[in-house]
Amino acid sequence: MSIHLSFNNIRNSKAVSEHVHRAFEELIKITDDKYPFHIKLNKVAGESYHVGINCSYKSKQLSSKADNENLYKALSKGIDSMKTQVIRKAEKIRG
């Protein structure tokens, strides 16, 4: 899978890594596993989490950001935003 995951101010967790890979399964299928996703997980301001997701999809730079007190909720919001962007770009390219 073309997922690059980095942890900042968060302990690298196997459970979180597995969750991210499961959550990205649909996006990987949509993109035919041709485009790498870069996910940055960051704990900020004590109890808040910031998730940043970047992808260069068919020469278009896509990115999403999400913040939440719950890391999994922040991930879910970021992934949903990225799915929407990828689907829109795919539809535009098809014409």
pLDDT digits (tens, 9 = 90+) for 12-36: 889 999 999 999 988 888 888 888 9
Residue extents of the structural domains in the chain: 3-94
**Rounded-to-integer distance, Cα 52 and Cα 13, Å:** 17
- C-alpha closest to that of 55 among 22, 19, 88: 88
Taking the mean position of all CA atoms in its chain, how far away is CA 12?
A: 16
The structure tokens listed for 82 are 């990225």
Per-residue model confidence (pLDDT) at position 95: 66
The structure tokens listed for 44 are 């900020």
Name the CATH topology of 3-94: Double Stranded RNA Binding Domain (3.30.160)
pLDDT digits (tens, 9 = 90+) for 50-91: 999 999 888 889 999 999 999 999 999 999 999 999 888 888
**Rounded-to-integer distance, Cα 38 and Cα 54, Å:** 5
